[in-house]
Amino acid sequence: MNRITLILADDHAMVRKGLTAFLSTAEDIDILASVSGGLEAIAAARKHAPDVVLLDLFMPNLPAVETVRQIKKISPRSQIVMVTSHEGDEQVVPLTQAGAISYILKDTTPDDLIRTVRKAALGESTISPRVAKALVSVVMQERQGKSEDDQFHDDLTGREMEVLLCIAEGLSNQDIASQLGISEKTVKSHVSNILSKLYLTDRTQAAVYAWREGVVRK
């Protein structure tokens, strides 16, 4: 069994304690550090270079975007999962640009949390459906005034467009496979093609792209 190394960062001691207790029950997850602030998270990432960083959106001593940027700079292999209680926070887009791979709400189920960590370790994104939908207002504002030319999604096949729409709704590969009646392996192939054609690095950026460019309508 491949072990997943993880550090978690939250400014509430009870939250850290609860997350540590729960995540420790997963046989494949090793918690290397539990910290209370952005600077501490960066120091822990520098020391451990973990597979996954579970990072609260609001913590003391350093903004989340800069925390993510610094962690990715010193430990590019670390995948960052943002945890937030705010569905429509305007930081989601800049956090994606800084390198965060996933966004989940604090009311997510324990099983979904572990699933998100495991997917992040494999380089797969998870976006809470409510967070994905809340991106609309932000990315649509960004889209205003932009040219309609050079829309790379024109190069996508019909099936790839269907997969992109599912990604924008926050669906996982498993959910997409079930909805479209195809295998999960085929979904992964489509996702890879989509990212390549859109010049993007992960599915979170693909979701943002879909909303911003009007592929998905509000």
Domains identified in the chain and CATH numbers: 4-126 (3.40.50.2300), 136-212 (3.40.50.2300)
pLDDT tens digits, residue range 14-43?
Answer: 989 989 988 988 999 999 999 999 999 999
Q: Is the pLDDT of residue 136 over 80?
A: no
pLDDT at res. 149: 46
State which amino acid sits at residue 109: T
Rounded to an integer, the average pLDDT of 103-130 is 85
Alpha carbon distance 9, 200 (integer Å): 27
Helix (H, G, I), strand (E, B) or coil at 182: coil
What is the token pair recorded at 9?
């960062």
Matching residue, tokens 């494999």? 122
Provide the whole-model pTM: 0.69
Average pLDDT over residues 146-159: 67
Q: Which two tokens stand for residue 55?
A: 């990072």
pLDDT digits (tens, 9 = 90+) for 161-190: 999 988 888 788 888 999 999 999 999 999
> Count of residues for the chain?
218
